[in-house]
Structure 1
Amino acid sequence: MQSPTPRVPGQPVTRTEIDARLTVELGSVVSAARRRALRDGDRQIDTAHLLHSLIETDSEVRTALGDVAQVARVLGYLVQRSIGYGLRWQGSVEDSGAVPLVRGAVVRGSHADMSGWSPSAVIALEGAIGRAGLRGDHRAGGVDLLACIAADRACRAVEVLGRAGVDAELLTERLAASSRHVSQG
């Protein structure tokens, strides 16, 4: 459903706008990430929370990451993070300063109604919406979010992927190629 109020270019995307542009499945991922952050006692929902929920929920994301052993290694690091590996992240703000992936789709600035979210997680969600829009979809899915997370080399989720042996740059290239194939087909 389109918003009755047109967006003003350069105005930050609101949480309501983000929620409205996610598939039902990706909305469930976001809710699970929110619960995970709360349960872990983290101040904010970050890209690692999103990645953890994506892998648990979305079979396309698991396929995109590689074979079962690779997915198991990533999940192992994510579980370690929730039981102590990520303690050094607690109390800090995840903000990699990532450059927008989709020109005009990501707006840096005040996200007052996105409190409780790391800036990197907000940018990933906005980028996923922009990525979906480029191929003509109104709603972003799990692979869209994975692509935007993997493209942010300085975010926490990419650190976890790297520790598990996933080449985030190669993953980003594969997802970009598959997205071009889908939009052309």
Structure 2
Amino acid sequence: MQPRIPRQSAGEQDGRRPDGTDAGVRFSAELATVVSGARRRAVRDGDRQVDTAHLLHSLLEYDPEARAVLGDGPQVARLLGYLVQRSIGYGLRWQSAVEDSGALPVVTGVTGFSPLAATAMEDACARARRRGWAQACGVDLLAALVLDPQARAVEVLGRAAVDARTVLARAEDHFESTP
């Protein structure tokens, strides 16, 4: 029986190079760890693909800058609570469906990722390039995750009373205040 998500390579297990992405080139070391963590979470949860909620969960766990953009304290705790509930009921309806709103163009060639997650990763890299950075960071990915209102990450944010537009504005402000 084939695994539903391709197995991790030896390099990916230590936080480098998820299948279908040039993590060593396009992502900061921290963001490569986030993507690998999201893949492990999807495998553990028995999900068919890494989706935007997996990426959001992993950002909250591994990236202090992304956590700071979301706001400290009860908001992050509430978000983590919803994300943890995903594997025990709240997100079970997602297991049988591919995350794709049809609102954004689909990125191909990213194995094991939902269309929206793959598009968010591509958009994170494009955001970094527009700033003149060679690699995307966690805040780039956070901003990209909230662009499509149909994304599971946006649904989770909404359930935790976090406005996606506010998150996007904070992410963009983060880079304006960063030298």
Q: Does structure 1 residue 176 correspond to structure 2 residue 162?
A: no
Hey, what does 2:95 align to over in structure 1? 90
Q: For structure 2, which runs of at least 5 residues remain unmatched after alignment? A: 1-18
Instruction: Quickly say closer, same or farther: Cα 1:175–1:115, change in 2 above 3 A.
Output: same
Hey, what does 1:151 align to over in structure 2? 147
> Distance in 1 between the 2:99 and 2:154 partners?
12
Match of 2:51 among 46, 52, 66: 46
> Distance in 2 between the 1:115 and 1:159 partners?
23
CA-atom RMSD in angstroms: 1.7
> Distance in 2 between the 1:173 and 1:16 partners?
27
DSSP 3-state at the match of 2:146: helix
Instruction: Quickly say closer, same or farther: Cα 1:77–1:15, change in 2 above 3 A.
Output: same
Instruction: Quickly say closer, same or farther: Cα 1:82–1:88, change in 2 above 3 A.
Output: same
Aligned residues: 161
Q: Deviations over 1:93-139 (max 9, x none)?
A: 0012344xxxxxxx635x24x23110000000000000011111110
Instruction: Quickly say closer, same or farther: Cα 1:50–1:72, change in 2 above 3 A.
Output: same
Q: Deviations over 1:23-71 (max 9, x none)?
A: 1111011111101000100000000000000000011111111121100
> Distance in 2 between the 1:135 and 1:95 partners?
28
Hey, what does 1:115 align to over in structure 2? 111
Q: For structure 1, which runs of at least 5 residues remain unmatched after alignment? A: 1-13, 100-106
TM-score (norm 1): 0.81
Hey, what does 2:30 align to over in structure 1? 25
> Distance in 2 between the 1:46 and 1:27 partners?
15
Q: Is the 8 A contact 1:18 1:125 kept in 2?
A: no
Q: Is the 8 A contact 2:79 2:160 kept in 1?
A: yes
Hey, what does 2:85 align to over in structure 1? 80
Hey, what does 1:134 align to over in structure 2? 130
> Distance in 2 between the 1:139 and 1:131 partners?
9
The residue type paired with residue 96 of structure 1 is S
Hey, what does 1:11 align to over in structure 2? none
The residue type paired with residue 142 of structure 1 is G
Hey, what does 2:74 align to over in structure 1? 69
The residue type paired with residue 20 of structure 2 is R
The alignment-based identity, stated in percent, is: 57
> Distance in 1 between the 2:121 and 2:48 partners?
18
The residue type paired with residue 108 of structure 1 is V
DSSP 3-state at the match of 2:96: coil
TM-score (norm 2): 0.84
Structure 1 segments (4+ residues) deviating >6 Å? none
